[in-house]
Amino acid sequence: MKYAETKNVLNQLVADLSQMSMVIHQTHWYMRGTNFLKLHPLMDEFMDEINAQLDVISERLIALDGAPYSTLTEMAEHTGIKDEPGTYEKSTPERLAGLLVGYRYLAALYQKGIEVSDQEKDYSTQDIFIGFKTAIEKKIWMISAELDQAPEIDR
């Protein structure tokens, strides 16, 4: 099957971007405390970016004659991003640290996609992976800076 591994990564991203959107939603909904007025609307921007990536990734998978996951059950069964029930007990820095874990996971998955699409010579999809990995790395830097940490972006 043509581009089989690239399609696998694309579908993994469908599940993981869907899950990441929900994790960001939870952060948005359960956020309290210092910097709320700044960070609460910023989560809308983060969700918009993840959802836009999800749409491009899903449509690219369809263009390659793939079938993106499209149910909550499929998303939950295939995602590598952990979740937990919402609580007001977590601080905003703890919530941001959780987002950082998810963004680092996505960066690594995009890197895998870059490598797989290179092997399969699917340079159009590789271009998408590169652009989105760059955007995710920017989020890693921004969240790390908010937490007074270095971004420690892996290559």
Domains and CATH numbers, the chain: 4-79+89-146 (1.20.1260.10)
Which tens digits make up the pLDDT trace of 101-127? 999 999 999 999 999 999 999 999 999
CB 92 within 8 A of CB 31: yes
pTM for this predicted structure: 0.95
CB 129 within 8 A of CB 114: yes
For residue 155, the model assigns a pLDDT of: 59
> Buried (b) or exposed (e) across 57-74, using 16+ Cβ within 10 A?
bbebbeebebebbeeeee
**Look-up of token digits 């989560």:** 43
Work out the percent of the chain whose per-residue pLDDT is above 70.
99
Separation between Cα atoms, residue 129 and residue 113, nearest integer Å: 6
